[in-house]
Amino acid sequence: MKTYNVAVVGATGAVGNEMVAILEQRKFPVNKLTLLASARSIGKTLTFRGEEIPVDELKEDSFKGIDIGLFSPGGAVSLKYAPIAAAAGCVVIDNTSAFRMEPDIPLVVPEVNPHAIKDYKNRGIIANPNCSTIQMVVVLKPLHDAAKIKRVVVSTYQSVSGTGKKAIFELEQQVLAIYNNKPVEKNVYPHQIAFNCLPHIDAFLENGYTKEEMKMVNETKKIMEDNTIQVTATTVRVPVFYGHSESVNVEFEREITPEMARKILSKAKGVKVVDDPSKNKYPLAINAAGKDDTFVGRIRRDDTVPHGLNMWIVADNIRKGAALNAVQIAELLVEKYL
Ligand code: A2P
């Protein structure tokens, strides 16, 4: 079997750690694994297939002989280093928002638009979508194919792990401080996140929306390859460690009942229907954490429009929302193109 030299860029971060774990769990055909992060991480190691691998400093000459680069070091670092890696012959799968909306760069969710991967040849870069968008489109695509979506209204309940390791630590520390009657320290978020909800993810834009909200609007159209789908979003950070939840209201062109939607989704790749409210069964972040599937439930009719459904969608934002989706793209890349 052919094997590949793989680099994980941002290897010490929340997503980078998971990328390394998933490469091992899914037996990705890795020849040599290179771990890259900032100079702060020199001296650290990560375990891969039972071997301790040192973390190296990301530099311009880090990509010689590397076939695939899984990037999650933050937008500014990707913006600089992804083209450098691509010029050295490495195919970059980038988890940041740096390249997602560039017209010649594919933005891929393997269950939705795997064919777009072929366009990696344009710039040597494939973009991994925003976490909240990935889990939404995995569920919406099969419903769109059945009844054509007109409009989506989504509100998210996003966990702190999406912000990175510092935010996981901040929530832990704030909870401990509050229980011990100590002052709450804020470094990552502008307000206390413990026991609170912040309607603010990423920067605010002139139109009053946040960048995170506009990612959901724009990326959904690009991945679903349909600019007619109207999307409006409110994205909220909640004091949950792992797993994003979403309330999604969908208006369709054609008739689709909750029963039809459940049937379609029960056959959809990467989706699990958990929808038995009489037994208190519906998707929960604590159950989705550590899992690969996207979970959907609370599917019910919206009687205020001719063909409307409401649903609740939950997934592990670090796995399907980031690291797993990136490794799935890498799997298709080696299977079909490299
Ligand atoms: P480091 O740990 O050395 O700072 P998270 O999203 O969990 O905060 O992780 C961000 C990841 O991106 C970490 O691996 C971090 O490495 C890495 N990173 C941040 N800035 C840089 C940089 N300038 N060069 C290389 N890696 C970086």
Mind listing the pLDDT tens digit for each residue in 258-297? 999 999 999 999 999 999 999 999 999 999 999 999 999 9
Q: Each residue of 30-73: pLDDT tens digit?
A: 999 999 999 999 999 999 999 999 999 999 999 999 999 999 99
In the prediction, which pLDDT does 335 show?
98
Q: Is 164 in the pocket of ligand 1 (CB under 6 A)?
A: yes
Compute the distance from residue 96 Cα to the ligand 1 centre, in Å: 12
Instruction: State the chain's mean pLDDT as an integer.
Output: 98
- Mean pLDDT, rounded, for 111-132: 98
Return the SS3 of 155: strand
Q: Which of 9, 12, 57 to mutate to test the pocket of ligand 1 (most atoms within 8 A of CB)?
A: 12
In the prediction, which pLDDT does 139 show?
99
Q: Is 162 in the pocket of ligand 1 (CB under 6 A)?
A: no
Say how far apart CA 53 and CA 69 lie, in whole Å. 16
In the prediction, which pLDDT does 248 show?
99
Q: Each residue of 125-175: pLDDT tens digit?
A: 999 999 999 999 999 999 999 999 999 999 999 999 999 999 999 999 999
- Mean pLDDT, rounded, for 110-128: 98
Compute the distance from residue 80 Cα to the ligand 1 centre, in Å: 14
In the prediction, which pLDDT does 320 show?
98
pTM exceeds 0.85 for this model: yes
Specify whether the CB–CB gap between 207 and 196 falls below 8 A: no
Strand order across the 244-252 sheet: 230-237, 149-158, 244-252, 308-315, 294-301, 271-273
- Mean pLDDT, rounded, for 90-119: 98
Q: Each residue of 171-227: pLDDT tens digit?
A: 999 999 999 999 999 999 999 999 999 999 999 999 999 999 999 999 999 999 999
Structure-token pair, residue 338: 């490299």
Compute the distance from residue 256 Cα to the ligand 1 centre, in Å: 45
> In which band, very low, low, confident or very high, does the pLDDT at 115 lie, cut at 50, 70 and 90?
very high
Cα-based distances in Å from 197 to 148, 182, 236: 33, 21, 7
Q: Is 131 in the pocket of ligand 1 (CB under 6 A)?
A: no
In the prediction, which pLDDT does 203 show?
98
Crossing angle of the two packed helices 14-25 and 324-336, in degrees rounded to 10 = 50
